Structure 1
Amino acid sequence: MIQSKKKWSVQTISQEQAEEFAKTLQVDVLVAKLLLARGIDTELAAKEFLEMDASSVHDPFLFSDMQGAVERIHTAIERNEKILVYGDYDADGITSVTVLMETLTSLGATVSFKIPNRFEDGYGPSERLFRLAHEEGVSLLITVDNGISGVSQIALAKELGMDVILTDHHEAGEVIPNADFIIHPHLEENYPFSDLAGVGVSFKLAQALLGRIPEEYLYLVAIGTIADLVPLQGENRYFVKRGLELMRTKPTEAIRALASASGVELSDINEETVGFAFGPRINAVGRLGSADPGVHLFRSDSKEEAALYAKFLQDKNKERQSIVKSITDEAVAQVETGPLPSVLVVFQEDWNPGILGIVASRLVEKYTRPAIVLGIDLEKGIAKGSARSIEGFHLYQEIAKNRDIVPHFGGHPMAAGMTMSLDDLDEFVARMQAQGDEVLTQDHFIPRLTVDIPVELSEINVQSIESAAKLGPYGMGFAKPVYAVKGVEVKSFRKIGASSNHAKLEVTKDGHTLDVIGFYQGELVDQLAPMTSLTIAGDLQINEWNGRKKPQLMLEDAMSSDWQLFDVRGIRQLYRWLNQVPQGDAHYVAFHEETIAAYQDQLPERIVKSSELEPKHSSVVLLDMPAHEQQLDEIVTKSEWSRIFAHFFTPSEAFFDGLPSRDQFKWYYGFLMSKEKFALKEQGAQLARHKGWSEQTINFMSKVFFELDFVRIDNGHLVVNKESERRALTEAPSYQQQQQRIELEQVLLYAPYRELKQWFDAKRQHRS
């Protein structure tokens, strides 16, 4: 039996319905199943989804303050006023700034930008930077992706005489800043889509200012939208889909440089490229220092300039990776000093606040608990950091309950940032853990795996996978599909990778095969035995090598209700297979006293005799050969073992000793008849050498004759009993035992794996 690591939720799609839907849409059955699984179950809805175009983009003037904001900006341009675009230091903020900088510059505005330094200014609006902007003559301030909780900072900007246009998409608090115009999808009744990223809101302002859909900026919208993990639905879906197309077909110098630095082919750019290659590099600069180089990269006109900035982002990302690993190791060490609380809160002096969100994500992945990671600044007397959450624990709302001690915070249900006084840190930790205890149960701490589609191996091919890929982009709100295949047989399995920490399997069913790759799942190989029936779940991809395309499944999880036979027959070196035996959950069984004496010091557990066996463990290790089949029957009936390790060591093998032939018995009996008496002990070895037999053969035939009353022992000599009745050799107990032992060894020691497995299967079925 192999336990799944996650709690599966599997959708069931009718095969008949899927085939009918596929026929209607003229698509692959796999595609039809995925559409149905996502609730797209009518021809009209499917066509709208599959044929999404620019008609999905809404009128920006549905925002109630959009008209006023556009008029104020045009007035500023006409009057040559200084405009400042004030952004944020992550990928969403950097792309938001770039969209408006490019838009306003194209309209002839006198415009500059500022992005707060997270180490000097923290998250959100900065009074220091607002005062500096005022000193520089800025009269119109436009904030993008910078939060909506800076009530006092916006009030200061107004007091200084600047007009403020606030654009944002974060959770709004109870008090809204007194900006002149606010463009925020969560605060609108008339705008039909509320899940725009910060760059999406900036794009709507750009669209309104230009009076058209500025496609040339959609690649920026795609990057910010993917990186900020907002739902890929509605407008966002179109923005990302079209933006990715433009990156592949009409790349800017910035995209060319980013792709080169990331080792990505332009033609291969997709949502995963942005999420796992571009996004981390763009975020890295803001995490470690000034985010301005990110904006400069996207505004670069020359190949050389773009390459320089991309190289800078690449170097910062490498530095960021090193710091993340170091802090993650320290955070894990803190967590594991005691029992796991419902909410993890770790903190330490000099932790770089720029990467604490990543560390929090790593903790969530490892422990499936909300995680808050704070850096301590003793000089300023503050704790500052980031948090990530799990389903069921709304971070923003839970942190908001502590406004009295957390004056600065912002974020979403799943992610947040915060700053507080060190004096309140202990109180904050106690409160958050108490809130976690109220909201969360043990069920929340089990990782979840949502399986969209159970499929048959016969449905998986290159064409079906390529068709399903066209349903992308995948991301938040439209996750990459997870497929499950039930009842596949493991054909081969091995560990791969420099550290042997990955798994590679080949599975088969009804004549179809599939390669399976499990990154960081090398331990699965230790649990597998040939012929194991598995249910596997993961992402279907295409592996292309030397021009040949082949389907493969990237494994998320696996489980099996099958019992497993581990064939370790003939492997005398115990270290080669003992690591596969579950420690503390296995019985080591011996049928012979000499086996116990020989093996006990080499094993981690006490060896028990078959008669002492208790069904309290899930695995049993059969160290040696039973004397007869009934002994194994007794073990199989003791418990429904999930794992049986067959070692079956024997010092001498009856199969190779064999049974003497009838001619051998006939000659030996005639020999004894010709002798008045025969001294077996003294002359047996000499006779064996003369005949070219083993001494065991002579001894065995003598014992059979004695049991059949053909001979008697007289003062240590064999004497033929001439009055004995004629009897068959098979009537002798020794002959029967040797015959049974040979048959048993034929199965247990020399049968191929499949036959041995079937033999045990029959035993288990007979028991039930």
Structure 2
Amino acid sequence: MLKSKAIWNFSNEEAETIAWSGDSTDLSPVIKELLVQRGITTAKDASEFLSPDLANLLMPEDLLGMDVATDRVHKAIKQNEKILVYGDYDADGVTSTTLLMSALLEIGADCDYYIPNRFTEGYGPNEHAFSYAHEQGVKLIITVDCGIASVSEAKFAESIGLDLIITDHHEPQEELPGALAILHPKCAPTYSFKELAGVGVAFKFAQGLLGYFPDHLLDLVAVGTIADLVPLVNENRILAYYGLQKLTDTKRPGLRALKNQCRIEGNVSEEDVGFQIAPRLNAVGRLKDAGLAVELLMTEAEDEAAYLAEAVQDLNKERQQLVNEIVAEAEVLVDDTKDSGVTIVAKEGWNEGVLGIVASKLVKKYDRPAIVLAIHSEKGSAKGSARSIPAFDLFKNCMQVRDYFTHFGGHSQAAGMTLPIENIALLRDTLTEMIYSQLTDEEFKQEITVSKTLSIKEINEELVNEISQLAPFGMANPKPVFHLKQFPSTVRQIGAKLNHLKVQFKQESLSIDGIGFGLGDCFPFISEKNPLSVVGEIGINEWNGNRKAQIVIQDLQIDEQQLFDHRGKKQLDILPFLNNSEHYLAIGNNVQARVKQVPIKLDVLSYTKPPETMDTVDTVFLFDLPDELENLEWIIRKANPINIHVCFYLEDSHYLKAFPSREDFKQFYALILKRGYFDIKKDLFVLMKSQNWTEERIRFMLNVFFELNFVIIENGLAKPNRSAAKKDLQESRLYQQRIKRSEIEKKLYYSNYDDLNQWFHRLTNDVDISKEELTYGI
């Protein structure tokens, strides 16, 4: 048995109560089911989803305050007033800034932009920046992707004579800022879609200002929308869908240079944005002033764009290296806090801009919420980021101890915080107590939502093409993950470090490959003897001109008890088999001699001294054959292992030695009686040659005769005991041991895999085999 690393939630089970409405459509059953899981149950809704239409976008004037905001901007242009676009340092923020700046410049505005420094100013508007803008002659400030919580900053702006327009999409607080206008979907009762990204709100404002639909700005909208992880449904889906098309053929030099850096060719996908373009834009604000990213996106010169893109690329490499270094340092600290239900690590000198990424990596590795903090000794405080696991609401639980923090904000799965250094240990202890009181061990796992179980016959290029109609994928429209259960035909480790897994499944004449990145450590647990369940995304692998559907494995498991056959190996490395279990047991008298490295947590028992009671054990290694089969049966029944490793090794096999027949015994004893003696030293070789018997066979028969008192052995001579009582050979302990040993060897050492596996399976399923007829021996 191989346990999955994540919890698998099957969407089709949850969607069984929802039915397709029955109107005619040419959609395949799989696509219908995927649409139903997304709440789409009619052909009309399906058509709108699968074929996004710009005509279905809401009008900008539906946003409350749009008329006031556009009028104020046009007034500023007429009066030659300076306008400042105040943005944010992430990808949504810099694309929002670029987009609105482009629109303002197009209509002749005297405008500039300002993005606060993450390290010295933090997120959102601040009074110092507003004062500086006022000194530079700015009359109107427009925020993008920020400002909805800036109540005091809005009052300050008013006090110094600055007009303020806020465009934002973050959660509104109880009190709204006193701005001239607030453009926010959640603050507009007549605006039906509430989940626009910051760049989406800025786009609506730009459309209102320009008086036409600015499709030339859609490439920026796609980047910001996908990067900010807003739900890719409704308007966001339409904007991202057409934005990706615009991004594919973008004329914007900065984006073209970024695509070249990312080696993106052909149609740009949401994965290209999410995993390549957006991280590079984010890296700028994480390490330096995000203005560099805005300059890249705004430049109209190809040579400048190439230069700036190279600078962004260098920062991204630096960010990656920085993350790797902090993760390595954090993992050392985690070892000291491994019993904590919540991972909290803190160190002086860590870059605050990447701590959220570090926290995400720690969550993935340790299946624990993670808080990563940079210590500021001179201030006596620590500041950082947190990420959580699905089952634990980090925001809700931290709010119960809000007084631990100097500053705190976020949501259920992510948060930012500042707290006194002396409160770190207190926070760890309190959150650990909270999480253990709320969650079972199983609930600590990550979760994977599985759309459907497929057979090998169903996985093909046609299905991959059908699924692509659901793109772009993202929040609320995840890329489907499928489940496949099949016996693997081949399994191997690949990669320079053998840290990836390659599996092939076959069914009749069909086959499909599976690739599991980072799953190479599962290799020792997989065999062709047990069906393997995998979950992952399906796609096309194109190599050497050939195209074939494959599944990219995210997680895997084996449901059945497993038997691992190492019989005949004198020495064994068992460490690779310990990664997936918690309790290990070895049976044998000389385990250290057979194992290359004995794990610290490996319990070792012998058959002769079994404990009176035994707890269940995940994995059992059997190094020695038992003298009594019942001893092994008792251990296996009590331990009830999910994995059994048979590691038997024989140098002297009883089963392979010819067992003397009753006629052999009669013939040999008759010879002793006739001659009156048998000289073991002189007559042994002669008897071996004349009867074609082995020395071992002759000595065994002599020992049986001696045990039954049929002969007296003195000074190397075996003489018949003519007064011996009549006895059957079965009364000899040696005779019985030889039979029993041969039976045990045949059952446990020489049997085929399937028979041995079935025998153990019957034991662990508590089937009575104690009366099973034994037909081995003579």
TM-score (norm 1): 0.86
C-alpha deviation, 1:176, in angstroms? 1.9
Bigger Cα displacement from structure 2, 6-15 vs 165-174: 6-15
Distance in 2 (CA, whole Å) between partners of 1:665 and 1:19 is 79
Distance verdict in 2 for CA 1:42–1:729, change over 3 Å: farther
Partner amino acid, structure 2, of 1:121:
E
Whether 1:365 aligns to 2:364 is yes
Q: What is the CA deviation profile of residues 17-75 of structure 1, one whole-angstrom value per residue up to 9, with x for unaligned ones?
A: 99999995333333233222223233332222112211231111001100111122122
Among 427, 439, 443, the alignment partner of 1:442 is 439
1:92–1:198 CA contact under 8 A, matched in 2: yes
Measured in 2, the distance between the counterparts of 1:409 and 1:103 equals: 35
Higher deviation after alignment, 141-150 or 368-377? 368-377
For 1:565, which of 543, 557, 563 is the aligned residue? 563
Report 1:158-557 matches (<5 A): 158-250=158-250, 252-267=252-267, 269-338=268-337, 346-377=345-376, 383-391=382-390, 412-417=411-416, 426=422, 441-443=438-440, 445-486=444-485, 488-507=486-505, 513-557=511-555
Give the corresponding residue for 2:768. Answer: 767
Once the two structures are superposed, residues 656-698 of structure 1 have per-residue CA deviations (whole angstroms, 9 ceiling, x without a partner) of 3234689988987897688564323442135425766531133
CA contact (8 A) 1:360 1:386 kept: yes
Report the counterpart of residue 580 of structure 1 in structure 2: 577
Question: Per the alignment, in what secondary structure is the counterpart of residue 658 of structure 1?
Answer: coil
Contact 2:292/2:308 (8 A) holds in 1 = yes
Residue 631 of structure 1 and its aligned partner are, at CA, apart by 5.2
| Whole-angstrom CA distance in 1 between matches of 2:358 and 2:732 | 75
The one-letter code sitting in structure 2 at the alignment partner of 1:648 is F
Paired with 1:161 and 1:526, the residues of 2 have a C-alpha distance of: 71
Contact 2:287 2:353 in 1 (8 A): yes
CA distance in structure 1 between the aligned counterparts of 2:368 and 2:19, rounded to whole angstroms: 41
Contact 1:149–1:410 (8 Å) recurs in 2: no
Deviates more, 1:308-317 or 1:366-375: 366-375
Q: 1:127 to 1:537 in 2, by over 3 A?
A: same
2:148 matched residue in structure 1: 148
The equivalent of 1:130 in structure 2 is 130
Letter in 1 for 2:76: A
- CA contact under 8 A between 1:21 and 1:32: conserved in structure 2? no
1:570–1:174 distance in 2 versus 1, CA, 3 Å: same
Comparing 400-409 with 69-78, greater Cα deviation is found at 400-409
> Structure 1's 425 and 625: CA in aligned 2 closer, same or farther, altered over 3 A?
closer
Distance in 1, Cα, partners of 2:78 & 2:186: 31
Distance in 2 between residues matched to 1:21 and 1:696, nearest whole Å: 81
Deviation at 1:510, TM superposition (A): 7.0
Looking at structure 1, the residues matched to 85 and 530 of structure 2 have their Cα atoms a distance apart, in angstroms, of 61
Structure 1 contact 89–283 (Cα < 8 Å) conserved? yes
Structure 2 regions of 5+ residues with no counterpart? 770-778
Partners of 2:333 and 2:591 in 1: CA distance: 44
Deviations 1:394-419 (A, max 9, x none): 6667777889897866655544445x
The 8 Å contact of residues 96 and 144 in structure 1, kept in 2 or not, is answered as yes
Contact 2:11 2:452 in 1 (8 A): yes
Give the letter for the 1:76 counterpart: A
Aligned to 1:67: 67
Task: Please tell me whether residue 119 in structure 1 is matched to residue 119 in structure 2.
Answer: yes
Cα separation, 2, equivalents of 1:38 and 1:226:
19
Higher mean Cα deviation, 744-753 or 212-221? 744-753
Q: Identity percentage over the alignment?
A: 39
Q: Secondary structure at the match of 2:164?
A: strand
Q: Secondary structure at the match of 1:147?
A: coil
Structure 1: runs of 5 or more not aligned: none
Matches of 1:408 and 1:481 in 2, distance apart? 38
Q: Is the 8 A contact 1:627 1:741 kept in 2?
A: yes
Displacement after TM superposition at 1:701 (Å): 5.5
Query: Structure 1 residues 19, 349: closer, same or farther in 2, change over 3 A?
Result: closer
Counterparts of 1:566-715 in structure 2, within 5 Å, are 566-574=564-572, 576-577=573-574, 579-580=576-577, 585-590=583-588, 604-609=602-607, 612=610, 614-618=613-617, 619-627=619-627, 632-659=632-659, 675=675, 677-688=677-688, 693-700=693-700
Distance of aligned partners of 1:340 and 1:116 in 2 relative to their CA distance in 1, 3 Å threshold: farther
Q: CA deviation at 1:338?
A: 4.0
Deviates more, 1:64-73 or 1:253-262: 253-262
* Deviation of 1:4 (Å): 3.0
Tell me the distance in 2 between the aligned counterparts of 1:78 and 1:258: 36
1:711-730 correspondence runs (5 A): 717=717
Distance 1:657 1:467, change over 3 A: same
CA distance in 2 between counterparts of 1:180 and 1:723 reads 124
TM (normalized to structure 2)?
0.85
Q: 2: CA distance between counterparts of 1:706 and 1:286?
A: 91
Q: Which letter does structure 1 place at the counterpart of 2:450?
A: V
Equivalent position of 1:35 in the other structure: 35
Distance in 1 separating the partners of 2:233 and 2:467? 17
Distance in 2 (CA, whole Å) between partners of 1:665 and 1:384 is 87
